[in-house]
Structure 1
């Protein structure tokens, strides 16, 4: 298992000020913009690897630094402290009943920026774990056409609740139906942090345009980094820490499906069918 940090030196580290807030954003690639939002505890080497796969597939990746130390190998003690700070931050709503996290407003501005900078018909977004629902909240930005939710884990205190409030969910559903769009979502079957109840709630709120993929637990990598082994403690991160990097593995097939979804939405949207996507 690789225990080294990732220098991220094949990305352009930029400071982008949007809506009066400046953040570090790592960008790389050519083609339509795709925003990849890291899971807890931050932009790990596995998150960077996934971002490179998206880049290699023909997209410009925008990787915002939202928490943690960029490029760090996820250690248990460090990850717990980062998660504690995020849970009390005003930018994130980790508990039920508070609505979408305020940081999603800045992320929508990033989607607008990416669309202006890259051109094309729109942008995509992949949220993971703590940021999973953020990709859904970004659907309130008209340029966002391809949201992917990987093991959305907020709110932390209610497995059947959704971070988005009723008004936001209704607005997203109306947009999905009006613009013939869909949401692609992933979880492991035995994930204790993103349970079946949450996907059922998304289905109830969004209808058949919420396209759920549930992977078997035995498809998960058995030796994830320390934070995921000691703190997360179950199959969880489909595209990163629990991904089995082998051709034909269920998790690699899930990555391929995400690439196909992004290409269909951002390059040739008329070709995509939520029922037949690979």
Structure 2
């Protein structure tokens, strides 16, 4: 990937209008959560937001996936069900997640209970859409959720974008050993997993990708982008290394590694969701 000017596309203001999304409040497993949908045809792809909630840059990413021929389901696990959520850290948000029974933030080798609901969403999306299965994309605190979602055979493609949990164990994964073994078995029957991070990211460190490579071997394709590919207006503007590959630290411009990574994910989804066989 050859990068163009680092300023190209760096400071583009994105609108918070999401008139092209439809909100549905879905009750699954006895719990109701808002889901924003865009697209009317094609296989389903579930995009799970970062710690900021649903933001303008996440809406942009969802549109790219939609325009590639997929129907996007974006569940709202926290934050407001619109694109008005700011991409800034919130101590209140972090504390609320730490005490939530749905999220496992600190403990290693444990699956977050909310992934049960996400798998139910995947089954519903599969029933509603064309295609042999569903794609799952998690980001930051939800990055590892895309792995737990692959416990369900309807999920045929998992993308882990800068998976940040467990927060205090940089080499560990946020999935229970028994669940991990089941996903490993699925990779022996064709399931593939992709991961993305910036090389200098302190929230998703290289040791976590090393664990994923050990766990999945050739079934895991991990892309590690140089920090120079990060948006100067993103985390760098706060004096921190870039983190969000597909949202706040992405540069939307020709030749930019982060934008090329989006195209790579879309190609991966097309390959996986156009297969006629399932990775059971």
For normalisation by structure 2, the TM-score amounts to 0.90
Give the structure 2 partner of residue 163 of structure 1: 174
Partner Cα separation in structure 2 for residue 190 and residue 98 of structure 1: 24
Q: 2:272 aligns with which of 255, 265, 269?
A: 265
SS at match of 1:140: coil
Q: Deviations over 1:152-195 (max 9, x none)?
A: 000001111111122111110001112x1210100000000000
Partner Cα separation in structure 1 for residue 12 and residue 92 of structure 2: 22
Q: Deviations over 1:70-120 (max 9, x none)?
A: 31242536x332222112211100012360110000000000000000032
Count residues with an aligned counterpart: 265
Q: What displacement does 1:200 show?
A: 0.6
Partner Cα separation in structure 2 for residue 3 and residue 42 of structure 1: 18
Give the structure 2 partner of residue 118 of structure 1: 129
Partner Cα separation in structure 1 for residue 158 and residue 87 of structure 2: 29
Give the structure 2 partner of residue 248 of structure 1: 255
Partner Cα separation in structure 1 for residue 208 and residue 200 of structure 2: 13
Whether 1:42 and 2:53 are equivalent positions in the alignment is yes
Higher relative contact order (CA 8 A, sep 6+): 2
TM superposition outliers: structure 1 runs of 4+ over 4 Å: 2-5
Partner Cα separation in structure 2 for residue 265 and residue 4 of structure 1: 30
For normalisation by structure 1, the TM-score amounts to 0.91
Give the direction of change, closer, same or farther, for the CA distance of 1:214–1:98 in structure 2 (3 Å limit).
closer
What RMSD in Å do the two structures reach over aligned CA positions?
1.8
Q: Is the 8 A contact 1:4 1:73 kept in 2?
A: no
Which structure: greater helix fraction?
A: 1
SS at match of 1:86: helix
Partner Cα separation in structure 1 for residue 145 and residue 209 of structure 2: 15
Partner Cα separation in structure 1 for residue 185 and residue 42 of structure 2: 28
Consecutive unaligned residues of structure 2, counting only runs of 5 or more, are: 1-10
Partner Cα separation in structure 2 for residue 41 and residue 121 of structure 1: 32
Partner Cα separation in structure 2 for residue 147 and residue 75 of structure 1: 24
Partner Cα separation in structure 1 for residue 74 and residue 51 of structure 2: 14
Partner Cα separation in structure 1 for residue 87 and residue 213 of structure 2: 34
SS at match of 1:76: coil
Give the structure 1 partner of residue 120 of structure 2: 109
Partner Cα separation in structure 2 for residue 124 and residue 191 of structure 1: 25
Q: Deviations over 1:4-23 (max 9, x none)?
A: 66132210111111111111
Whether 1:185 and 2:191 are equivalent positions in the alignment is no
